[in-house]
Amino acid sequence: MSLVTTTEMFEKAYNGGYAIGAFNVNNMEIVQGITEACGELDAPVILQVSKGARAYANHTYLVKLVEAAIAENPNIPIALHLDHGDTFELCKDCIDGGFTSVMIDASSKSFEDNIALTKQVVDYAHANGVVVEAELGTLAGVEDEVSVEAGKESYTKPEEVQEFVERTGCDSLAIAIGTSHGAYKFTPEQCHRDENGKLVPPPLRFDVLEECIKRLPGFPIVLHGSSSVPQEFVEMVNAYGGQMPNAIGIPEEQLREAAKLAVCKINIDSDIRLAMTGNIRKHFAEHPDHFDPRQYLKPARQAVKDMVAHKIVNVLGCDGKAKDLSVR
Ligand code: G3H
Ligand code: 13P
Ligand code: ZN
């Protein structure tokens, strides 16, 4: 039993009009919540680890947790991916350390420097049977140490994607079409209010996506910053002592539309954080005497599982697809 790369996953997802969920993992409860949902729904999955996750939990612990998830869910293909690798050395560490996929995010560099670093990672990764995600364009929001103010993002230039993919040899490409990292994806000024007073964010740039697809037929596209920031969790956080005013995400219907096109990987992290935090805050408010971490981590893990199950069915459309894929 072993990890898979994303190659077959993306091929099937592209042709099948669905996407694979890429969920960030930082601890045991998150790994369990995600993979239990995937196991029950027969959904392939990408578990992704950021530089911050490695610093928090330690590379070896995370790899071993994922190995445990594979043993517990032998029927679903699981890929282990480095999220937002920013140096060759970090990517190499993960390739040498058992990951099956890495992202080199050199999107803040010039076009030529992005190509040079991405190609260096691709050459090493491919020589070791590992696949590479690269990025063109800049998302708004916060990721690791990089913060880009809402409104200061830059959309991917479709006229650059073909040359970038040809010269780097990358296996998938993350593009910027208006998604954004974190729980505050848009300022209230960027949104309008519907008839019920609810904030409605600006729509994703499907025109940019379509132009990229035209220039890269059959090539898997990735969307970062794709949490929907469910208002039920935001309300739960705020009702039990938290302060997350104006937290807002990407409407799920738009992500579902993207998944039907060339978008094969959809990244979700903030929704996991919100599901856990909302439920832990609620648990503490309702059980002020509890002090055993199992008491509050159990509902938090269940909330992650329920949220992921919802995404699989309603956003990604990858339920029941594991049986069409090899698991090792
Ligand atoms: O895109 C960033 C991911 O949400 C990972 O966040 O760097 O805080 O682990 P992190
Ligand atoms: P969210 O902050 O929208 O969950 O995005 C996560 C992500 O893109 C991880 O790379
Ligand atoms: Zn990201």
Q: What is the pLDDT of residue 103?
A: 98
Compute the distance between CA of residue 27 and CA of residue 57 in angstroms, rounded to an integer: 7
Q: Which residue has the higher pLDDT, 146 or 313?
A: 313
pLDDT at 67 over 70: yes
d(CA 46, CA 295): 28
Which residue in 98, 9, 21, 20 sits closest to 59, CA to CA? 98
* Contact yes or no for 178/202 (Cβ under 8 A): yes
pLDDT reported for residue 145:
62
Reported confidence tier of residue 149, pLDDT bands at 50, 70, 90? confident
pLDDT of 151 strictly over 90: no
* pLDDT (average), residues 109-130: 98
Q: Decide if pLDDT at 231 tops 70.
A: yes
Task: Report the candidate in 237, 179, 165 with the shortest Cα–Cα distance to residue 209.
Answer: 179
41 lines ligand 1 (CB under 6 A): no
From 103, 269, 277, 311, mutation site for ligand 2 pocket: most ligand atoms within 8 A of C-beta:
269
Mean pLDDT for the stretch of residues 161-184: 97
pLDDT at 11 over 60: yes
CA of 36 to the centre of ligand 2 (A): 21
Question: Any residues with CB less than 8 A from the CB of 278 and at least 6 apart, and which?
Answer: 232, 233, 234, 236, 237, 240, 242, 303
Task: Tell me what pLDDT residue 68 has.
Answer: 98
Identity (one letter) of the amino acid at 285?
A
Pocket test for ligand 2, best of 25, 143, 252, 263 (most atoms within 8 A of CB): 143
CA distance 236 to 230: 10
pLDDT at 161 (0 to 100): 98
Report the pLDDT averaged over residues 310-315: 98
- pLDDT, mean of residues 313-323: 98
Higher pLDDT, 314 or 149: 314
Q: Please, what's the b/e burial string for 93-120 (b: 16 or more CB within 10 A of its CB; e: otherwise)? A: bbbeebbbbbbbbbbeeeeeebbebbbb
CA of 104 to the centre of ligand 1 (A): 14
Residue 116 has pLDDT above 60, yes or no: yes
pLDDT-derived band at 259 (thresholds 50, 70, 90) equals very high
Is there a contact between 21 and 308 (Cβ–Cβ < 8 Å)? yes
pLDDT at 261 over 70: yes
Mutation probe of ligand 2 site: the residue of 268, 273, 274, 315 with most atoms within 8 A of C-beta: 268
83 is catalytic: yes
Q: In whole angstroms, what is the distance from residue 146 CA to residue 247 CA?
A: 19
Q: Is the CB of 269 under 6 A from ligand 1?
A: yes
pLDDT at residue 1 is higher than 60: no
Is residue 143 lining ligand 1, measured as CB closer than 6 Å?
A: yes
The per-residue pLDDT for 146 is 63
Q: Please report, to the nearest 10 degrees, the dihedral formed by the alpha carbons of residues 188, 189, 194, 195 taken in order.
A: 100
Is the distance from the beta carbon of residue 273 to the nearest atom of ligand 1 less than 6 Å? no
CB count within 10 Å of CB 254 equals: 20
Q: 267 CA distance to ligand 3 centroid (A)?
A: 7
Among 42, 83, 171, 271, the active-site one is: 83
- Ligand with an atom nearest the CA of residue 182: 2
What's 282's DSSP letter? H
Contact 91, 120 (CB under 8 A): no
Calpha distance 298→260 (Å, rounded): 34
Please report how the helices 59-72 and 28-41 are oriented relative to each other, as an axis angle in degrees rounded to 10: 30
Q: Report residue 137's pLDDT band, with 50, 70 and 90 as the boundaries.
A: very high
Rounded Cα distance, 227 and 112, in Å: 31
C-beta 144 within 6 A of ligand 1: yes
